[in-house]
Structure 1
């Protein structure tokens, strides 16, 4: 009876190792480490399954293949094949019976078979690993080995069949536990990402909120000069008063979508608050910024002139722009100047843009006279 405790102990050990590996993975700072850490940990886990050989009657199905199965499912064929290097070398150095056959049958075959079920979404944790994969792999490998064994030794007894059935069930249950643990960890990760996204996202427009924008803008400003656009919807209060807050909210959503689709790919836009939006641009040339702002104003005006049936006044935007003087410039100063420029755009007629440097130059010329 004690012979049945060996595979059960190995199964418990494998579950524990899987738990430790998941915790290490969740705390890794640099994801590229996973490229070599995953095969390393998988290989070590397989070796630990080989340290305590199974009794002869139970030796057809070995738990050393399970870590290889997991590597193939989660990380694909390359990681799975690399995971066989350590246990393969160990098996050869340990002088196991027919070591090269062991490498092919117990390690390489599981690596290649499990890779057939690989999906990129399993690795990124955006999709759970289906439980059916564990059943399919275990049963497939079991029957392949059973047929191989029967070919060499065609005599089968009931005792032998029951022992192999016990090992098959142990392997399946252990594999299912490993998959369930990984899926639970992935679901926790997805929930955390969703909560982080909600914390950094404006609930109405689905744009980033001001807090996340300021964090990204500060980081960008340490690497390169930037420009800040303050964008305001003209006559928004009158629109709300005339048509109600529900239509006002829809206008904000539509405006967010238009701006998101109109900005340059490398730029970043967020909702500032109320009817205002804030844009981080990597452009700093005054001529380019003026062309950019003019494009946004024209795009918004054209879109709503073609689609809006509610507003009596045209739906347009006003823009104020300020540019960093140098790296590590004060972000609050840039945003404040962009806000002043926006005020000038609103004051001088709306549906236009004001570049703060140009506004300062014009003011200086007026003072000179």
Structure 2
């Protein structure tokens, strides 16, 4: 009876190791080097399984293949193959009987088989690993082992099949539990990510909020020169008063969608507040920035051209632009300069962009007071 406790002990050990690995990953202790550490930890888990050999009657040497199955299923073939290096080396050190055959059957074959079921979204955590994959893999393993045994011995033994069936039940249950643990950890990670996105996202426009923008802009300004655009919807208060707040909210969403579509891929746009948006760009050449801002103005004006009428003029935006003189310049200063440039655009006819120049801003400040 005690021999039946050995595979259970091995399974419990493997579940514990998997729990530790998932917690380490959730704490982001290994995520940045996961492509290297995943094969290392998987290989070590396989070696630990090799330290607990099973009775010969069960038809399996040990549970070394289970960590490899998980590696192939979750990370794909390259990681799964790398995961076999350590246990293969350990097998040679032990000088196991039929060493090459054991490596091929219990390490290389599991790596190849499980990788056929791999999906890149399993690695990222955005998609749960289906339990059916575990059932399919274990069923194929059971069939292959029975056929291999029958081929090597030239006979079919019911006793061997019964013992192998017991071990396959242990393997299947453990494999499914490992998959469930990984899926549960991924669900927690996705929930945390969703909460973080909500905290950094404007609820109305679904653009990033100012808090998120400031953090990203500060990091960008430490590395390179940038430019800031302050963008304001022209006559928004008048639009809001005439059509109501619901239509005003919809206009904000529509403008946000247009900006999201036309902003360059490497740039970052957020809602600043009210009817204002803010954009940080890696573009600092005034000529290309002018074309960029002109394109944004034309995109908004063109999108609402059919809606203009005698009651309400065409919907447009005004833009103020400030270019950082050097990396690590004060972000709030650049935003303030872009805001002053926006003030000039608004008071110079709207539906246009203006670059910040100190002399012009000083003049407007004086006029304002």
TM-score relative to the length of structure 1: 0.93
- Work out the CA distance in 1 between the residues paired with 2:280 and 2:28: 31
Given that residues 319 and 341 in structure 1 are in contact (C-alpha distance below 8 angstroms), is that contact kept between their aligned partners in structure 2? yes
- Work out the CA distance in 2 between the residues paired with 1:61 and 1:249: 66
1:306-334 per-position Cα deviation (integer Å, ceiling 9, x unaligned): 35679621111111112222222111111
Q: 1:58 to 1:29 in 2, by over 3 A?
A: closer
- Per the alignment, residue 246 of structure 1 pairs with 246
- Per the alignment, residue 224 of structure 1 pairs with 224
How far residue 197 of structure 1 moved from its aligned partner, in angstroms, is 0.9
Q: Does 1:342 align with 2:342?
A: yes
- Work out the CA distance in 2 between the residues paired with 1:335 and 1:9: 62
- Work out the CA distance in 1 between the residues paired with 2:309 and 2:168: 68
Given that residues 84 and 107 in structure 2 are in contact (C-alpha distance below 8 angstroms), is that contact kept between their aligned partners in structure 1? yes
- Per the alignment, residue 191 of structure 1 pairs with 191
- Per the alignment, residue 321 of structure 2 pairs with 321
- Work out the CA distance in 1 between the residues paired with 2:85 and 2:282: 47
Given that residues 52 and 62 in structure 2 are in contact (C-alpha distance below 8 angstroms), is that contact kept between their aligned partners in structure 1? no
- Per the alignment, residue 5 of structure 2 pairs with 5
Q: Which stretch of structure 1 is more off in the superposition, 71-80 or 295-304?
A: 295-304
Given that residues 146 and 161 in structure 2 are in contact (C-alpha distance below 8 angstroms), is that contact kept between their aligned partners in structure 1? no
**Local SS of the residue matching 1:222:** helix
Q: Which stretch of structure 1 is more off in the superposition, 261-270 or 246-255?
A: 261-270
1:171-201 per-position Cα deviation (integer Å, ceiling 9, x unaligned): 1000000000011111111111111111111
Q: Does 1:68 align with 2:68?
A: yes
- Work out the CA distance in 1 between the residues paired with 2:311 and 2:145: 75
Given that residues 61 and 168 in structure 1 are in contact (C-alpha distance below 8 angstroms), is that contact kept between their aligned partners in structure 2? no
Alignment of 1:255-294 (within 5 A): 255-294=255-294
**Local SS of the residue matching 1:17:** helix
Q: Which stretch of structure 1 is more off in the superposition, 301-310 or 242-251?
A: 301-310
- Work out the CA distance in 2 between the residues paired with 1:226 and 1:31: 30
- Work out the CA distance in 1 between the residues paired with 2:229 and 2:263: 11
Q: Does 1:38 align with 2:35?
A: no
- Work out the CA distance in 1 between the residues paired with 2:13 and 2:67: 12
How far residue 209 of structure 1 moved from its aligned partner, in angstroms, is 0.4
- Per the alignment, residue 124 of structure 1 pairs with 124
**Local SS of the residue matching 1:228:** strand
- Per the alignment, residue 144 of structure 1 pairs with 144
- Per the alignment, residue 102 of structure 1 pairs with 102
Given that residues 60 and 145 in structure 1 are in contact (C-alpha distance below 8 angstroms), is that contact kept between their aligned partners in structure 2? no
Q: Which stretch of structure 1 is more off in the superposition, 250-259 or 22-31?
A: 22-31
How far residue 81 of structure 1 moved from its aligned partner, in angstroms, is 1.1
RMSD across aligned positions (CA)? 2.2
Between the two proteins, the alignment pairs up a number of residues equal to: 366
- Per the alignment, residue 15 of structure 1 pairs with 15
How far residue 296 of structure 1 moved from its aligned partner, in angstroms, is 1.8
- Per the alignment, residue 26 of structure 1 pairs with 26
- Per the alignment, residue 162 of structure 2 pairs with 162
- Work out the CA distance in 1 between the residues paired with 2:334 and 2:86: 57
Unaligned runs of 5+ in 2: none
